[in-house]
Structure 1
Amino acid sequence: MSATPDVSMRVTTPTRRSGFVLAALTFVYVLNFLDRQLIGILAKPIQDSLDITDGQLGLIGGLYFAMFYCFIAIPVGWLADRTSRVGVLSLACAIWSGATVACGMAATYGQLVVARMTVGFGEAGGVPPSYAIITDTYPPGKRAAALGIFNLGPAIGAAIGVAFGAAVAERFGWRMPFIIIGAVGVVTAVLVWLTVREPERGGTDIVRDAGAAEKARFWPTVGMFLSHPVLMLAALGSAATQFVTYGLGNFAVLFLMREKGMELGDVAVWYALVLALGMGGGMVVSGRVIDRMTRRSRAGYAVAPAMSLAIAMPFYIGFVWAPGWPLALALLAVVMVFNYFYLSASVALVQEEVKPNQRVLSGALLLLVMNFIGLGLGPTWVGLASDWFMAQGDTQSLQSALYTLAPFYLVAIALFLRLARLLRREQVRAEARA
């Protein structure tokens, strides 16, 4: 770190207000992920209504969405680092929620593509400002746990999306969940703007950075991130992991219904339960485990996700193989617990590694790398692979396509182990200088 420390040292402990901020941002993240996942959750009725293929479905949930979500996040991150992060977050929430309503009104595949791209445009301003707000609200030693709670957003959003989306779609059609959830998001955007205060940049750091209030320069920050081995290994390890998680997540419901025999009513109850307990439990546990491991060594930011992915991989293969949906869901629950340790670890590492006035843009760059590869290419890969296997006469084309995700576990584990070695070497050098 090249930050120049202030002579004064102050640690801010979490307050009741901190809890409110975390709860508000987590709810926004719930809506963010819920809106994003509705396409995958309602894939079967959308396919039946608009007559689209697995490949087209993969492009909507993957590349088309990520083209806006990933690259718009960079200028949005730069803007938020220089202006109000709460203001950027509120505006972004309003945009993606309005676009979600438009998804529910789409009459053709082309209209759905445009609406989804607009959702991606809005959601680009959701997560990076939230990372920085939380980091400036919670001190070191508490951040990974706070980010772990924040990262419950995907678990809660996916679970609510499944339970609410499937139940409402079964009764009123697939369009109504988009319209209702989008309307809730617009109201939430206004409430966040009115109730969440902008925290002081660097206000909770143990050593105060004298330059925290300065405006971060765009290209120097981008160059710093792309040339920083620790940041890039964290981003690439997360990207390889997300290739699996998004590839699976966008097609899991369709796979369970089409090839494992689940009905929409079963999905609304049992798949929602697996997401809530599996992914949610993993997020909470991962934050606490990472905080504990990193008190001994910063290598814990990499060791924890490497170990968790090694545990998840055989259960993932078992999930794809399972002959029926009850066994598949039981195995998937274990996968969900261990698939998401990487998220809190990588976010906390990146936020602590950079200067306070670079946190939003650095968070956006992290999301660019991991989401363009994971979110953009993972679902696209699975959808096109399924179409290819189907063209070869494979009657279980989605199963075959999901098997092809397994090697990416090994890629992610290797990247995180390399990051762990680098962090250990840096710690040894720092201790030798001290």
Structure 2
Amino acid sequence: MLTTPENEIAAGSRADTGYRRYVLLVLCAIYAVNYIDRQVVAILLESIKAEFGVSDTLLGLLSGPAFALFYTTMGIPIAIAADRSNRVRIVTVCLALFSLTTLMCGLVAQFWQLLVARLLTGVGEAGTGPASQSIISDLYPPGERARAQATYAVGVNLGIVVAFFGGGWIAHHHGWRYAFLAAAVPGFLLALLARLTIREPERSGATAGSQAPTFRECIDVLWELRSYRYIVFGTAMSAFAGFGMAAFVPAFLMRSHGLDAAQIGALFALVVGIGGGVGTYLAGVIADRMSRRDPRWNMYVPMLAALVSLPCWPLFLTSENLAVTIGSVMIPLALSVVFIGPCVATIQTLAPVRMRARAAAIQLLVGNLIGLGLGPQVIGIVSDLLVPIAGRNSLRYALAAGAVASCVSIWSYWMASRRLIVDLNKRPDFAPVTPVSPR
């Protein structure tokens, strides 16, 4: 059974239950706003393409690397600050910043200005994730972290609901610029709320006056944890599939099946937002319950989710029937982010206390460089290359890259599960971890 340091458990129990839940919900809402600002561009791509006359390659650049470049590179220095200073202040400042840059996206006059605004949006969003994950880990003990981190991750699904349903409706009736302007407003309000009502938690497991290790020391420690390396790569592959789908499935449904932005927004809101939110939360609950007997279930859960999705890909990519296409894409879309809760919880448990924000930032760095940076971009490039052969259906075949990435993620989670027990036992503040067989 997984055993943990008494001071970590005490830290989780000391915090008032109602306050812990309140902080978790506010951080979940902040994550939702993060995803509204990040994903609203996907439902707007066809409108942006029509106004500026750009290619799918440039659309892939806008929805992927333009955002990911600064999002990933700024995550590390901000995470270093989060391991050493007030995390709540970092979250609120970054939240206000990326809300401001989202506002700028709706005011641009040329495509290159939109690219620059998306770059700057990545700077602000880089600071909220690692600091928030670290705060949650100090409020919840290891046995409750997968569910807590999964609850936080439901912000992804809530953000997608608003981005696609609200963004699609606004874009259809008022134009894509107003969708950006509306997406910026909630962030300013949440930044003020968090600053006034959330206090910096005590770092669980850290001795008084302890100093955060250097970044080089952090890299050395994490590199020795082979399961951490596999988890990081696995989440990157899951992100490749997820971000690629989120960026181009709406455009594919418009081009190949004639749906409009409002219809696709409603579809994504129901499937990814509501269905995905339930799936993400239940994945955390299942991972918490099963990992009490065997911590490797934190890897088995995302692995099984990807396996369930695999048979749906061929139907989605090849069917000419709209009902079959929508029915087959529902499961991959709904399960696209269930990996976050179990994987983040495992990373936060593997990493020493004063390395948690940086462990999260490194995972986000690799995951977003590969997933967000390459996912939409690779699919966009392949789509353009296939136009002479497939015409308007080029995007149909380019999306197959997501299925390949999903297969690689399954292998990565399996490899991580084989090393996880050994790596947990390397932590000096853990009693030996032994899987408990069912009776």
The TM-score bracket by the shorter chain reads over 0.9
Q: Give, as a single letter, the amino acid of the residue that structure 2 aligns with 1:274.
A: V
Give how far 1:150 is off. 0.7
- The correspondence of residues 30-429 of structure 1 with structure 2, limited to 5 A, is 30-202=32-204, 208-210=205-207, 213-425=210-422
**SS at the partner of 2:212?**
coil
Q: How far apart are the structure 2 equivalents of 1:431 and 1:123?
A: 36
Between the aligned partners of 1:340 and 1:111, the Cα distance in structure 2 is 31
The separation in 1 between residues aligned to 2:210 and 2:315, in whole angstroms, is 51
- The answer to whether the 8 Å contact 2:241/2:401 transfers is no
**TM-score normalised per structure 1:** 0.93
Taking the aligned partners of 2:103 and 2:74, their CA distance within structure 1 comes to: 21
Deviation at 1:181, TM superposition (A): 1.7
Find the aligned partners of 1:76 and 1:409 in 2 and give their Cα distance: 30
Counterpart residue type for residue 409 of structure 2: A
Q: Deviations over 1:355-403 (max 9, x none)?
A: 2111111111111111111111111100111111114453301001002
Q: Structure 1 stretch 423-432 or stretch 164-173: which is displaced more?
A: 423-432
Change (3 A) 1:296 1:8: closer
Q: Which residue number corresponds to residue 437 of structure 2?
A: none
* Aligned mates of 2:425, 2:95 — CA distance in 1: 43
1:180-228 per-residue CA deviation (whole Å, 9 max, x = no partner) reads: 22132123212211111111111xxxxx343784233222112322342
Matched residue SS, 1:42: helix
Query: 333-342 or 402-411: which moved more?
Result: 333-342
Counterpart-to-counterpart distance in 1, 2:67 and 2:363? 17
313-322 or 164-173: bigger deviation: 313-322
CA distance in 1, matches of 2:398, 2:115: 23
Q: After TM superposition, give the deviation of residue 260 of structure 1 in Å.
A: 1.7
Q: Name the CA distance, whole Å, in 2 between partners of 1:111 and 1:285.
A: 41
> 1:163 Cα deviation (Å)?
1.0
CA distance, structure 1, for counterparts of residue 269 and residue 285 of structure 2: 24
The residue matched to 1:194 in structure 2 has which SS? helix
Moved more, 329-338 or 141-150: 329-338
Structure 1's 12 and 393: CA in aligned 2 closer, same or farther, altered over 3 A? closer
- Whole-Å separation in 1 of the counterparts to 2:237 and 2:9: 38
Unpaired runs of at least 5, structure 2? 427-431, 435-439
1:346–1:431 CA distance, 2 compared to 1 (3 A)? closer
Q: Which amino acid aligns with 1:374?
A: G
- C-alpha distance in structure 2 between counterparts of 1:181 and 1:117, whole Å: 17
SS of the aligned residue for 2:211 comes to: coil
Q: Distance in 2 between matches of 1:7 and 1:106?
A: 51
SS of 1:262's partner is coil
Q: Partner amino acid for 1:22?
A: L
- Letter of the 1:177 partner, please give it: A
**CA deviation digits over 1:115-154, x for unaligned, max 9?**
0000011100011111011111112211111111110111
Please report how far the alpha carbon of residue 317 of structure 1 lies from its aligned counterpart in structure 2 after TM superposition: 2.7
Deviations 1:287-318 (A, max 9, x none): 01110121111111211111111111111332
Q: 3-state SS of the aligned residue for 2:12?
A: coil
Distance 1:386 1:12, change over 3 A: same
Could you tell me whether the CA contact under 8 Å between 2:350 and 2:424 is conserved in 1?
Answer: no
How far did 1:321 drift?
2.3
Q: Deviations over 1:221-267 (max 9, x none)?
A: 12322342121111001111111111111111111111122122312
Q: Are the counterparts in 1 of residues 164 and 264 from structure 2 also a CA contact under 8 Å?
A: yes
CA distance in 2 between counterparts of 1:140 and 1:356 reads 12
Residue identity (%): 31
RMSD, aligned α-carbons: 2.1
Cα pair distance change 1:395/1:8, threshold 3 Å: closer
Give the residue type in structure 2 aligned to 1:334.
Answer: I
In structure 1, runs of 5+ residues without a counterpart are 203-207
Conservation of the 8 A alpha-carbon contact between 2:290 and 2:297? yes
Tell whether the 8 Å contact from 1:315 to 1:331 is kept in structure 2 after alignment: yes
Q: 2:12 corresponds to which residue?
A: 12
d(CA) in 2 for partners of 1:209 and 1:371? 29
C-alpha distance in 2, partners of 1:199/1:424?
29
Alpha-carbon distance in 2 for matches of 1:39, 1:402: 18
CA distance in 1, matches of 2:199, 2:388: 55
Describe the SS at the equivalent of 2:339.
helix
CA distance, structure 2, for counterparts of residue 9 and residue 286 of structure 1: 22
Range 278-287 or range 418-427, more displaced: 418-427
Name which of structure 1's ranges 275-284 and 118-127 shifts more when overlaid on structure 2: 275-284
Q: How many residues align?
A: 424
What is the alpha-carbon distance in structure 2 between the residues aligned to residue 240 and residue 101 of structure 1?
Answer: 31
Which residue number in structure 2 is paired with residue 24 of structure 1?
26
Contact 2:227/2:415 (8 A) holds in 1: no
| Paired AA for residue 10 in structure 2 | R
Partners of 1:212 and 1:27 lie apart in 2 by 32
In 2: Cα distance, 1:295 partner to 1:431 partner:
10
